[in-house]
DNA sequence: CGAGTTTGACCTGCGC
DNA sequence: GCGCAGGTCAAACTCG
């Protein structure tokens, strides 16, 4: 797994209060290499769309990309944390990412490789649990987890042939935060309107670059 | 009636 | 081997 340097850069522009539909969010693919799908799956999975939740959408912490590394929060396969640029996070709960990166990277080196399942988790401040990322999810399970008063919900992408899963649970320390974990890579573009979707030539995967027409980003 | 949700049961991995 | 906890299945149910 070489050249994993593609680090996703996430820009988040909070919507004006009461006007969620005007929110624009886009993701840029922070590198030329897509030999690993971490960045592309991240982009495809997380593009928030224009729904009522937008004003609450606040990506504050990137927890981990599994990448076959158990217990290595907040890091991609190369040990570099994703770059999160969020206007809202700047005013809110961001900042834990870079602090965690160093120790995490060290931990990653010590863990032997195992078959990777692309997993990516992040914490958002949201009143609702189901962040509309543009994909259609079907709930298939709910489970109470130990050491947490909040149940964990299990969702699968309902698009035929796509077996991406996500887990959603409220942060046990701060219920105002929702921890979402995506697992797998979508093999299709978002069912919602996608204005800039690209397909990686090497992997064939799609990743969403934006969900708003270019003119609306201003 | 079809799609999605709920929820108890079942399966599996892991630590002791 | 056993028990626990997390993850998944599937039948019943709800809703549009």
Note the pLDDT tens digit of each residue in A29-74. Answer: 333 333 333 434 444 444 444 444 444 455 556 555 544 333 333 3
Instruction: Judge whether residue A172 contacts strand B, using its CB and a 7 Å cut-off.
Output: no
**Bases of chain C with protein Cβ within 7 A:** 4-10
Q: Is A201 part of a structural domain of the chain?
A: no
For position A133, which CATH number holds? Answer: 2.20.25.80
- How far apart, in Å, are the Cα atoms of A56 and each of A18, A60, A92, A163, A167? 11, 11, 12, 28, 19
pTM exceeds 0.95 for this model: no
**Mean pLDDT, range A77-93, rounded to an integer:** 35
Nearest nucleotide to the CA of A138, by C1', is: B4
Contact A186, A164 (CB under 8 A): yes
On whether residue A164 sits in a domain, the answer given is yes
Residue range(s) defining the domain that contains residue A147: 117-181
Instruction: Report pLDDT for A150.
Output: 84
**Residue A206 maps to a domain:** no
The reply to whether A174 falls in a domain is: yes
Residue at the smallest CA–C1' distance to nucleotide B4: A138
> Cα dist. A203→A28, A34, A40, A98, A166 in Å?
17, 8, 10, 29, 21
Residue A5 lies in a domain: no
A74: nearest Cα among A63, A87, A88, A58: A63
Q: Is A135 a member of any domain? A: yes
* Whole-angstrom distance, CA of residue A6 vs CA of residue A216: 27
Q: A206, A180, A191, A179: which is closest to A37 by C-alpha?
A: A206
Identify whether A107 is part of a domain.
no
CA gap A141, A155 in Å, rounded: 7
Find the mean pLDDT for residues A162-166: 82
**In-domain check, residue A196:** no
Residue numbers 99-138 of A with CB closer than 7 A to any atom of strand B:
136-138
Per mean pLDDT, which of A11-15, A105-109, A154-158, A171-175 is the most reliable?
A: A154-158
Given a cut of 50, is residue A82 above it in pLDDT? no
Nucleotide with the nearest C1' to A156 CA: C8
Cβ proximity of A139 and A151 under 8 Å: no
Q: Is the pLDDT of residue A113 over 60?
A: no
Helix, strand, coil fractions of chain A, as percent rounded to 5? 20, 30, 55
What's the total number of domains in chain A?
1
Computed over every residue of chain A, the mean pLDDT equals: 55
pLDDT in tens, A166-188: 888 887 777 778 888 888 777 77
What proportion of chain A, given as a percentage, has pLDDT over 70? Answer: 29
Q: What is the model's pLDDT at position A78? A: 38
């Amino acid at each position: 797994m070489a050249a994993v340097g593609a680090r996703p850069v996430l820009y988040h522009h909070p919507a004006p209060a009461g006007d969620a539909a005007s929110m624009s969010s886009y993701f840029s693919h922070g590198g030329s290499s897509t030999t690993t799908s971490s960045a592309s799956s991240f982009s495809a999975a997380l593009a928030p769309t224009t729904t009522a939740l937008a004003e609450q959408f606040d990506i504050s912490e990137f927890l981990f990309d599994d990448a076959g590394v158990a217990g290595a929060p907040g890091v991609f396969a190369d040990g570099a944390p994703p770059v999160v640029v969020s206007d809202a996070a700047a005013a809110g709960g961001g900042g834990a990412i870079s602090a965690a990166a160093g120790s995490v990277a060290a931990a990653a080196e010590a863990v032997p490789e195992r078959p990777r399942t692309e997993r990516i988790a992040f914490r958002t401040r949201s009143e609702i649990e189901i962040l509309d990322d543009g994909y259609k999810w079907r709930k298939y399970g709910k489970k109470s987890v130990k050491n947490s008063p909040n149940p964990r919900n299990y969702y699968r992408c309902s698009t035929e042939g796509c077996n991406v899963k996500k887990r959603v649970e409220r942060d046990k320390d701060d219920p105002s935060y929702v921890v979402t974990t995506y697992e797998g890579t979508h093999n299709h573009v978002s069912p919602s309107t996608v204005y800039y979707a690209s397909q990686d030539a090497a992997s064939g995967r799609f990743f969403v670059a934006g969900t708003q027409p270019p003119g609306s980003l201003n």
